[in-house]
Structure 1
Amino acid sequence: MSWIANARMYAVDPAAAAAWRELFGWLAAASGVELKVIDHAYPSPLSELWVRPDLGCGFMCGLPFTHAMPKPQPVAAPVPLNAALSGRPLYQTRLVVRAESDYQTLEDTFGGRLGYTVAESHSGYNALRHHLLPFWRTRGTNLYRESIGPLVTPRRVIEAVLAGAIDVGPLDGYALELMLRHQPDLAGRIRVVASTEAAPIPFLIASPQCPPAVVEALRSALLSFGDDAQCAGLRDRLCLLGFAPVRVVDYDVIAAWEAEAEAAGYMQPG
């Protein structure tokens, strides 16, 4: 049987998408699992991908994973080249502004327009809200005059920042690293004014219906990716050290951040 593969969350531009297709080709050969790479681009909802019974390998954010029933099967988690803690499958949300703006700190952006991706996103919503929660508690009122969204993807957040539609927006730190790797001119157009606490990164999942032997073959191959000398160039293009096992319990922190904000009555970042 053929299983589908998709890297929508981190196929942030054509060059990155091509690298992920190459990765899935390598994975199929290394694991012996037949994988068919499919497109599932915006505006198609990621939730439709996550419930496909033939999903063999696709990225899922930790926040929807904590809510999913039945749970998909974890395969492996990427370890970014510049992870928040070296060698760990962690990431941060970067809060970015236009490079030519006068904003030097996140607090400088208060009173302006804040963008967000979608309520089901950790990096673009939950981590953002968690980071803003202490400021919101101190002020006792909204921090921004407008919260603009859902912008859905990191690409659309950057476009909104550059167009002046928002003053500051959240970007998945690993997605941003990939964009800067393949679009180096972007570094001169945006500026990071704050970063959230580190959290466990989105990981590759398989459907609950995928046979355990298939999942284990995929996992075993991915865990060897970081040591494969022939994949050095591919690791560079994907800004990866390799992949690590998924510790499901680590994602409890994401649910805890969500619960804390909602218990405080801070329902939407802004």
Structure 2
Amino acid sequence: MPLVANARMYSATATARADWKTLLAWVLERAGLDWLVIDYDAPAPLSALWAREDLGLAMMCGLPFSQREPRPTLIAAPVPSPARYGGRPAYFTDIVVRADARYERLEDTFGGVVGYTLADSMSGGVALRDHLAPYRAAHGSRLFRHAVGHLIHARGVIEALAAGTIDVGPLDSYYHDLLRRHEPDFARQVRTIASTVARPIPPLVATAALSADELARLRDALQASTRAPALHDVTERLLLAGFDVPDPADYDVLARIALRDDLPTFEEL
């Protein structure tokens, strides 16, 4: 059976989804690999996708990548084009509130309701808990009166904010930027009041065994994709400057954060 490719993590809109499929198909063709670009749409759990053993080229959250044994093969990581990424394969968690909310600082949201995507998501859960941990320690008691989880993805966070279900929540910054690029009216329902420090961005990985030649061809094709005239409009719409090959050990920090003894749960925040 052929291996599969997927970019569900950053298929923030229908346009982005189609563009990622176009880019992945181009990469596989250039690499000479007869694999399948598959659909895997929300609300299907990403954890089930990442548990598959037939992934040849799939985006994976950096936290499960750092925790999985055996660790998947890191093929490459996207480099977003907006200036705040500094030409690095990095991202942030944007902490957002409803656009018309009275809050000006993160501290202003304390006492309200915090939302999150999934407890095991780095950008949508763990990074927010890590960012809030010093506030929780200084405060000595809960910061929020309630937490609402299982919002699945950044769209769910924005929808919950717009509906008034939560007062503050986390967005993967690259996903957030793609929403602002392709669905500005939807994205304008929220505004950012804080952002976390930069962390290694979710990489493209393989859980299946790849030969050294296949790995080299994939990396060459990914790096060529952002220079290919045929994909110029695609990569521009994806806010994609290129692909880098970070050291897999760069992601170890994410596992260390998740295992910290002093990291509060959302029930403790």
TM-score range (shorter-chain normalised) is over 0.9
TM-score of the superposition, structure 1-length normalised?
0.94
Indicate the SS of the match to 1:75: strand
1:254 equivalent in alignment to 2:254:
yes
Match of 1:33 in 2: 33
Q: CA deviation at 1:2?
A: 2.7
Identity of aligned residues (%): 45
**Structure 1 range deviating more: 87-96 or 212-221:** 212-221
Gaps of 5+ in 2: none
Which string of whole-angstrom CA distances, capped at 9 and with x for unpartnered residues, describes residues 130-180 of structure 1?
110110010011110011102121111111111111111100000011111
Which residues of 2 match residues 126-145 of structure 1 at below 5 A? 126-145=126-145
Gaps of 5+ in 1: none
Match of 1:80 in 2: 80
CA contact (8 A) 1:84 1:90 kept: no
Which residues of 2 match residues 41-56 of structure 1 at below 5 A? 41-56=41-56
Q: Distance in 2 between matches of 1:81 and 1:233?
A: 13
Q: Distance in 1 between matches of 2:224 and 2:263?
A: 45
- Of 258, 261, 264, which residue of structure 1 is paired with 2:262? 264
Match of 1:240 in 2: 240
**1:83–1:40 CA distance, 2 compared to 1 (3 A):** farther
Indicate the SS of the match to 1:227: coil
Q: Distance in 2 between matches of 1:265 and 1:236?
A: 38
CA contact (8 A) 1:117 1:125 kept: yes
Q: CA deviation at 1:37?
A: 1.5
Letter in 2 for 1:252: D
**1:203–1:115 CA distance, 2 compared to 1 (3 A):** same
Match of 1:101 in 2: 101
Q: CA deviation at 1:265?
A: 5.4
**1:194–1:85 CA distance, 2 compared to 1 (3 A):** same
Which string of whole-angstrom CA distances, capped at 9 and with x for unpartnered residues, describes residues 58-107 of structure 1?
11111111110111111110001126441100000001111111111111
CA contact (8 A) 2:95 2:192 kept: yes
TM-score of the superposition, structure 2-length normalised?
0.94
Q: Distance in 2 between matches of 1:143 and 1:84?
A: 29
Match of 1:221 in 2: 221
Q: Distance in 1 between matches of 2:101 and 2:251?
A: 35
Indicate the SS of the match to 1:21: helix
CA contact (8 A) 1:84 1:198 kept: no
CA RMSD in angstroms, aligned pairs only: 1.6
Letter in 2 for 1:36: L
Q: CA deviation at 1:259?
A: 2.9
Q: CA deviation at 1:254?
A: 1.4
**Structure 1 range deviating more: 111-120 or 218-227:** 218-227
Indicate the SS of the match to 2:259: helix
Which string of whole-angstrom CA distances, capped at 9 and with x for unpartnered residues, describes residues 28-66 of structure 1?
222111231211112222122123222111111111111
CA contact (8 A) 2:54 2:207 kept: yes
Match of 2:91 in 1: 91
Q: CA deviation at 1:199?
A: 0.3
CA contact (8 A) 1:83 1:89 kept: no
Match of 2:15 in 1: 15
Q: Distance in 2 between matches of 1:187 and 1:98?
A: 10
**1:265–1:157 CA distance, 2 compared to 1 (3 A):** closer
Q: Distance in 2 between matches of 1:174 and 1:147?
A: 24
Indicate the SS of the match to 1:218: helix
Indicate the SS of the match to 2:56: strand
Q: How many residues are aligned here?
A: 268
**1:83–1:55 CA distance, 2 compared to 1 (3 A):** farther
Letter in 2 for 1:221: A
Letter in 2 for 1:94: D
**1:31–1:114 CA distance, 2 compared to 1 (3 A):** same
Which residues of 2 match residues 105-124 of structure 1 at below 5 A? 105-124=105-124
Q: CA deviation at 1:229?
A: 3.4
**1:80–1:54 CA distance, 2 compared to 1 (3 A):** same
